[in-house]
């Protein structure tokens, strides 16, 4: 079967670093996305990984290990506006179909 | 910027009604998707379409149908609405093919079935 696991909730302090993990078991892996979703809003694209290693974009980085079926999203210098849900999603097949994890709700505290 | 527009942000309907949710994208994307999002369950794919008049079932198609008569528009239809279809519905679109082609989402329709 296909399965994606993320922690349900995380809490971190403003200015700190937080790592959100995602493990997956899917067929036909074609890449992994991270999305951010603020309450009541649409998910927005954060990052894409298809090769092993780290992709850095400003305060956000995403890592992939295909052999381990594992990814993480790293958020540095946390800000209050980073309080949101973070969705891990794996591409299945070549139609762009995504399989989503349940999402991790991150709360940033002062 | 890509714009995916859903016709309603909030909708209240009654059990047994036929409900139409509309989605329009302005970037000539081939692929369009309908999801529902429920607490603790994440986004689940209902139907998707990779071309005009083409459709594929997702993971939870029961009780739903779709229509794609024009490339830019993808409609989700609840044939006879039931209370367990109360949810947030999200539409998305993307270009065809593999690679870094993120799905672009609309703002969602929060549907309540009474």
**What percentage of residues in chain B have a pLDDT greater than 70?**
95
- The nearest alpha carbon in chain A to B89 belongs to A42
pLDDT of amino acid A97: 81
Confidence band for A75, pLDDT divided at 50, 70 and 90? very high
Confidence band for A24, pLDDT divided at 50, 70 and 90? very high
Q: Which residues in chain B are closer than 8 Å to A103, comparing Cβ atoms?
A: 42-43
- Phi first, then psi, for residue A81 (nearest 5°) are -70, -10
Quick check: A96 and B41 CB within 8 A? no
Q: Which residues in chain A are closer than 8 Å to B45, comparing Cβ atoms?
A: 97-99
The Cα of A86 is separated from the nearest Cα of chain B by a number of Å equal to 11
Quick check: A43 and B40 CB within 8 A? no
Quick check: B104 and A45 CB within 8 A? yes
Please say if the pLDDT value at position B100 is more than 80.
no
pLDDT of amino acid B56: 93
Identify the DSSP state of B39: T
Are B34 and B66 in contact, with CB atoms under 8 Å apart? yes
Tens of pLDDT along A80-97? 999 999 999 998 766 668
Q: Which residues in chain B are closer than 8 Å to A42, comparing Cβ atoms?
A: 4, 90, 105-108
Quick check: B45 and A98 CB within 8 A? yes
**Residue A51 buriedness (CB in 10 A; 0-12 / 13-18 / 19+):** exposed
The Cα of B93 is separated from the nearest Cα of chain A by a number of Å equal to 9
Longest Cα–Cα distance of chain B, Å, equals 42
Please indicate if any CB of chain A lies within 8 Å of the CB of B108.
Answer: yes
Q: How far apart are CA B47 and CA B59, in angstroms?
A: 8
Please say if the pLDDT value at position A1 is more than 70.
no
Tens of pLDDT along A41-61? 899 999 999 999 999 989 999
**What percentage of residues in chain A have a pLDDT greater than 70?**
95
Tens of pLDDT along B25-67? 998 999 999 999 998 888 999 999 999 999 999 999 999 999 9
Q: How far apart are CA B24 and CA B4, in angstroms?
A: 6
Tens of pLDDT along B75-92? 999 999 999 999 999 999
């Amino acid at each position: 079967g296909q399965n994606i696991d993320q922690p349900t909730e995380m809490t971190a302090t403003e200015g700190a670093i937080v790592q959100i993990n995602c493990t997956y078991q899917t067929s036909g892996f074609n890449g992994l996305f991270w999305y951010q979703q603020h309450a009541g809003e649409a998910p927005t694209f954060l990052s894409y990984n298809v090769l092993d290693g780290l992709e850095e974009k400003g305060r956000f980085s995403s890592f992939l290990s295909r052999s381990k079926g594992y990814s993480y999203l790293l958020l540095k210098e946390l800000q209050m506006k980073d309080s949101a849900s973070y969705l891990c999603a794996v591409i299945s097949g070549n139609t762009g179909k995504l399989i989503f994890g349940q999402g991790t709700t991150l709360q940033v505290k002062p | 910027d890509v714009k995916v527009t859903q016709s309603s942000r909030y909708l209240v309907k009654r059990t047994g009604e036929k409900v139409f949710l509309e989605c329009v994208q302005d970037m000539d994307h081939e692929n369009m998707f309908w999801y529902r999002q429920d607490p603790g369950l994440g986004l689940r794919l209902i139907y998707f379409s990779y071309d005009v008049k083409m459709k594929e079932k997702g993971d939870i198609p029961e009780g739903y149908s779709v229509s794609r008569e024009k490339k830019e528009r993808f409609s989700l239809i609840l044939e006879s609405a039931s209370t367990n279809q109360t949810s947030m519905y999200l539409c998305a679109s993307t270009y065809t093919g593999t690679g870094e082609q993120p799905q672009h989402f609309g703002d969602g329709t929060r549907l309540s079935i009474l």
